[in-house]
Homo-oligomer: A and B are copies of this chain.
């Protein structure tokens, strides 16, 4: 079997210079590629392992164009890229995942409509177009609920809880008038996620679902295997497969799921490598970062089977001070992101602790 593979030494352009870009860049290097980074902020951990960093905003179309022209293929580690920028990039060089796939996940309303159109379950939701619509939306989704901006939210940002109807107006005001939705609570026993890849040839490969625990709205740990009946495990993978196929998606996607008495409910999809897939670095022959690079460069997808049980633990803020101590423990793999300034709530690194053979 032959593959049309992006030649050795080609340049992959990554939009976004954070830790996901950093780990993607290293995976790209393992497969013989060079990486360029585009990052609006002055901090680009990915730049340490790339041949160049362009510091410019997504509205600087001249810089975007020049960046795209200097690369052979484009991808991103950051999903909130404006549509105009995506269009420009896609017109200049192959972009994976494609703009259309990204746009679905950029808007919580579009995303939920899309998921429901596939017959998948989501939390009850209702669009809020203006302050006057809040009460009506809460009627539909029930209360308590969470108001979320339709766009540009991550790690709990752009969200406000409404525990009682009396809090609704203040909660909506905290979103500063951004288009929003109200989302009802889902009673779930646990949260799991599936990391799935789809190649340019349409083939799909999924990793085992991992079980996630959040703290203060930020992922704290992912554990594989997830405590999940075999049937739900299969459901999770089939459902994720349905999503990437419907989107004609190329690359790695993270699909967050709630486990409920009525089955799996999709929380959200992330059109990129995902924090809850970091365990694959210790548990699989080919990790999520290499899998993404393989997908977008035309390599065959790698073997996603899991050979080890792993607990991934994020090192957030001061946690990072414990890294050297933990490094002595058998089976512990350390990943630091090279961020010199430690801040509360900042993801500084993670560890993968192998807890046994799979």
Contacts and interface: CB of A to CB of B under 8 A. Distances in A.
B9 A325 contact: no
A5 interface: yes
28 contacts: A1-B325, A2-B325, A3-B324, A3-B325, A7-B340, A8-B336, A8-B338, A25-B49, A26-B26, A26-B30, A29-B48, A29-B338, A30-B335, A30-B336, A31-B334, A32-B337, A32-B338, A32-B339, A32-B349, A285-B331, A285-B332, A285-B333, A285-B354, A286-B333, A299-B327, A300-B324, A300-B327, A303-B330
A357 interface: yes
Given A49-B26, A299-B327, A340 B8 contact: yes
Interface in A1-30: 1-3, 5, 7-9, 22, 25-26, 29-30
A209 interface: no
Contacts of A148: none
A302 interface: yes
Given A32-B338, A303-B331, 14 more contacts: A1-B325, A8-B320, A8-B336, A9-B339, A26-B29, A26-B49, A31-B336, A32-B339, A285-B330, A285-B333, A285-B354, A300-B328, A302-B328, A303-B332
Nearest to A321: B8
A92 B50 CA distance: 27
Given A48-B34, A340-B9, A330 B305 contact: yes
Interface string A293-304: 010000110110
A234 interface: no
A334 to B, nearest CB: 6
A97 interface: no
Interface residues of A, number: 54
A68 to B, nearest CB: 19
A51 interface: yes
Nearest to A340: B9
A357 B354 contact: no
Contact of A324 (B5, B35, B337): B5
Contacts of A249: none
A33 interface: yes
A48 B47 contact: no
Contacts of A282: 285
A204 to B, nearest CB: 15
Nearest to A357: B357
Interface in A250-308: 282, 285-286, 294, 299-300, 302-303, 305, 307
A355 to B, nearest CB: 12
Pairs of residues from A and B, 9 with the lowest C-beta to C-beta distance, nearest first: A32-B336, A9-B340, A49-B49, A300-B328, A303-B330, A5-B324, A32-B338, A3-B324, A34-B48
Contacts of A286: 333
Most central of A47, A324, A337 by chain B CB within 10 Å: A324
Contacts of A25: 49
Contacts of A49: 25-26, 29, 49-50
Nearest to A7: B340
A114 B209 CA distance: 55
